[in-house]
Every structure is written in C-alpha cells, then in structure tokens.
Amino acid sequence: MQEVANQSAAAAAAVRERWDSTPSVGIILGSGLGGLADKIVVEQTFDYAEIPHFPRTTALGHKGRLICGRLADVPVVAFQGRFHLYEGYTAQQAAQPARLSRALGADTLIVSNAAGGVNPRYAVGDVMVIDDQINFLFDNPLIGVNDDKLGPRFPDMSSPYDRDLMEIAAEAARRNNFVLHRGVYLAMLGPTYETRAEYRLARHLGADAVGMSTVPEVIAARHADMRVLGLSTITNVGSPDAPSGTSGHDVINAAQSATHKLTEIVQSVVASLK
C-alpha cells in the first residue's frame, strides 16, 4: 500500500505533462463498451504503455488507452480497458485507474462492465445500475500497511454506490424510455464463466448479476472518498435451469448493443456535475 501513492503521483505527472486540465470524473469502460469514448471531445490520448506503473491489458475488447477530454463540457478521463485478476494482476493493480483518476483530481468515478444476469427478470441488452456488491475475488486493493494520505485504514462500505447519482441515471432511463434495473453485482475471479451451480449460488447470496471486475476499483475509489456510479450491461443470462453456452465474442457483441443506453446515462450523470 505504501508505494501506491508514489506510483499514482508518477502516473498523474506523466499525464499532466501533455494535458493540464483537472478532470471532474473518471470513467472506466468495460468489455465492448469502449464506444462511449466516441462522445468525448478528445484533447489527449495515452496508450497504457506510456503511463508509469500501469499494467498492460490483455482482455478481449479492451484497447488499453486513456482518453482525456470533455464530455457534456465537463473535463473527464476515460479508460478504454481495465485490469483483471484473471490476467494475473493483483487487486491493487486492478484499482490503478481509480487511483489515477483521484490523483488527477477527479472526485467521481463511473464504472461500467459486462455481466451475466442471474436475476430471472433480466434479459440480454438490459442495463443494471449497481446498488451494492459482493467480493468473491478473495482479494482487496487495501491489503497491506495503510497509507493515510490515500484514505482511512478501515473505510466504510455500507453504501459504496452514490444514491444521488443512481437517481440521475434512473431519470435518464425514464426520459429515454428504456428499462434500468437496480441490483447487486457479484465479482468472481474468472476467467471461466460460471457453472450452473455457481449461478445458483450467486442468486442464493442475493446477487442480480455476476462478472469478473469492478469491485477493486470501487473499493479504491471509496477509500479515496470518491462518489461512485456503477453500471452493468447484461450480456448473457445465467440460468441454472436453462443453461446456454457463452463466449467472449458473444459478450462483447451484446455489450455493444446496449452502448446507446450507457451513453445516455453517463452523459446525463456527467452533465449534472457541472
């Protein structure tokens, strides 16, 4: 933990050498959702290889690029690709986009992901605003000696996702006439998709959607006292009673079909922060 502040500061310094704005929002774009970046007025871009201490993303559909610019006339940084534990990274490494957003000055984080729906009311292409989360990654970005400059030793996680931002997201869905669910996201290690028994377990534990990301980023953001909005695109339905095969390409295609919904929500939320 003690080296995290120095690494984040070095990464932020490298970004500031070419982009001198202070972002209000960091946006992490998940599988198949990189198209949201098309709505950003781009002022600067960075390949992850250009950012000190940043890992390389190997996940399907993740470009591995940081975009700096303006969305709804608000300065933002958007990460086209994230880091997963199944790639061999630690939870602390997976949290680096959140840490860099905070080091650059952002006080709000928007995270999006592709997820399997275990709530029987969900359908492929639906969007769920994340109300709460369950960490089945069995790792945590705060493990180690705490650095009080980053946040408290024992951060409260009773409400990891911001209620006001959820309401703005819900209003955007109503205004654009599409369904926005509200539910619990459960993160599993991956990279295998869940078995029927694991889907059944997830539902029994109270999850509405399952995925392989997001939780480390949200923990780090809340540790740093950032407001967080989480959005899951339902890219496959994980029914233990009617199983169907899932592939990475299927997930990306389904995620892309819901890009317009994510775009409306994210633009509305960002615009509200002017």
Domain-by-domain residue ranges, the chain?
Answer: 4-271
Sign of CA dihedral 181, 182, 183, 189: positive
84 is in an annotated binding site: yes
213 is in an annotated binding site: yes
Contact (CB, 8 A) for 71 and 266: yes
Selection from 212, 235, 247, 208 nearest residue 120 by Cα:
208
Residue-level length of the chain: 274
Integer angstrom CA distances of residue 190 from 16, 84, 159, 195 = 35, 9, 26, 11
Instruction: Check residue 145 and give its pLDDT.
Output: 92
The rounded average pLDDT for each run of 10 residues, N- to C-terminus, in the chain (274 residues) is 85 96 94 74 95 80 84 95 93 96 98 93 94 97 93 95 97 95 97 90 96 97 98 82 55 69 94 90
Instruction: Check residue 240 and give its pLDDT.
Output: 60
Instruction: Check residue 212 and give its pLDDT.
Output: 95
Instruction: Check residue 57 and give its pLDDT.
Output: 76
236 is in an annotated binding site: yes
Instruction: Check residue 236 and give its pLDDT.
Output: 82
Instruction: Check residue 75 and give its pLDDT.
Output: 97
Q: Does the domain spanning 4-271 belong to CATH 1.10.150.120?
A: no
Contact (CB, 8 A) for 106 and 77: yes
Selection from 137, 119, 116 nearest residue 218 by Cα:
137
pTM: 0.92
83 is in an annotated binding site: yes
Instruction: Check residue 252 and give its pLDDT.
Output: 63
194 is in an annotated binding site: yes
C-alpha to C-alpha distance for 265 and 146, rounded to whole angstroms = 35
Strand partners, 210: 116, 186
Coil, strand, or helix at residue 80? strand
C-alpha to C-alpha distance for 192 and 178, rounded to whole angstroms = 31
